Chain A
Amino acid sequence: DIVMTQTPLSSPVTLGQPASISCRSSQSLVHRDGNTYLSWLQQRPGQPPRLLIYKISNRFSGVPDRFSGSGAGTDFTLKISRVEAEDVGVYYCMQATQFPRTFGQGTKVEIK
């Protein structure tokens, strides 16, 4: 199974300041079809997960442009350019390149 490792596990940030989360996979996430199926999801307290980014860097419908994704191969990053109060929650990376699909442990973003 592909292991997804996120760092940090907790990220206290100041409102208006940037935040960055790293996700590393134990194997390359490049699929045989040439795509890299790495997504980022946000889970606000008491809510189901919400897709933010798919295939490394594509923002899903309705996601603010302060969220961006980057990376390649085994190393990926989610960045929030200016953290807002509504961004508090847990962020997960997920790979859909190989079965079983796997998630990172989650990174808790909270306001300082």
Chain B
Amino acid sequence: EVQLVESGGGLVQPGGSLRLSCVASEFTFSRYWMSWVRQAPGKGLEWVANIKEDGSEKHYVDSVEGRFTISRDNAKNALYLQMNSLRTEDTAVYFCARGDNPNYWGQGTLVTVSS
């Protein structure tokens, strides 16, 4: 069964940085777009970014453009989200998901931005 396991979340001060990772298994990672979606506490889902199969195309929601960078390592079946200049409003559970139209989701990793 498809598995996506996120890690790297935690508590960080405003202005700080964090790198999220997502390790995929039980499918051919290099054949799929991959996405990050977040959910603030008690709120709905917000699409953050996605990346094409070979990493040649990346897209971001405006609120993270220039601060977050999505990347992948197909040799390691891994997806990443480098988050810089973090703001309190970035506090959320971050989900890794398979596909541009996400069909499998990880359990998520919590990022808390607070002083």
Contact = CB atoms under 8 A, between A and B. Distances in A.
Q: Do A and B come from one complex?
A: yes
Interface of A: 1, 37, 39, 41, 43, 48-51, 54, 60, 90, 92, 94, 96, 99-106
Contacts of A102: 47
Contact of A100 (B47, B102, B106, B108): B47
A92 B44 contact: yes
Nearest to A37: B101
A48 B105 contact: yes
B105 A54 contact: no
A85 to B, nearest CB: 22
Interface of B: 35, 37, 44-47, 50, 59-62, 95, 97, 100-108
B103 A60 contact: yes
Main secondary structure of the interface of B (DSSP, over half): strand
Contact of A49 (B60, B61, B62, B105): B105
A103 B107 CA distance: 19
Contact of B103 (A1, A54, A99): A54
A41 B35 CA distance: 15
Nearest to B37: A49
Nearest to B33: A96
B10 to A, nearest CB: 19
Contacts of B107: 48
A90 B59 CA distance: 26
A39 B104 CA distance: 13
